[in-house]
Amino acid sequence: DAKTTQPPSMDCAEGRAANLPCNHSTISGNEYVYWYRQIHSQGPQYIIHGLKNNETNEMASLIITEDRKSSTLILPHATLRDTAVYYCIVRARDDKIIFGKGTRLHILP
């Protein structure tokens, strides 16, 4: 199964860029990488997605390595409201959606 590996937790100072890594070494050629975040007790919120090229939207940037085996989500100017669990997701070979444990991001004032 295509799986993702993320660090369990990270700290980032408020106002600095938060860089969240994700390893997805078994990703196949037509699978997208999605990033979601979940703020305590709420449903996950979509952040960004990508296939091969780097992507940017109003929330974040996504950097995907050329071999597509890993990616990094960048929150350019982290605020306290960015404190959440961040999930990196790819669609598995058997088509199941696997969230993994995610990274708990703590923004430090």
**Whether 17 contacts 102, CB under 8 Å:** no
Q: Which stretch binds other proteins (CB under 8 A): 12-20, 31-39, 54-62, 68-76?
A: 31-39
Contact flag: residue 68 with other proteins (CB under 8 A): no
Nearest distance from C-beta of residue 26 to other proteins, angstroms: 13
Both tokens of 75, joined, read: 């929150």
**Whether 85 contacts 38, CB under 8 Å:** yes
Q: Which is nearer to other proteins, 54 or 108 (CB)?
A: 54
Contact flag: residue 34 with other proteins (CB under 8 A): yes
Alpha carbons 100 and 102: distance in angstroms, whole number: 6
Both tokens of 2, joined, read: 């295509």
Nearest distance from C-beta of residue 33 to other proteins, angstroms: 11
Q: Which is nearer to other proteins, 95 or 109 (CB)?
A: 95
- Going 16 to 24 to 91 to 97, the CA torsion angle's sign is negative
71 bridge partner residues: 22, 64
Contact flag: residue 52 with other proteins (CB under 8 A): no
The site for other proteins (CB under 8 A) is made up of 28, 30-32, 34, 36, 38, 41-46, 49, 87, 91, 93-102
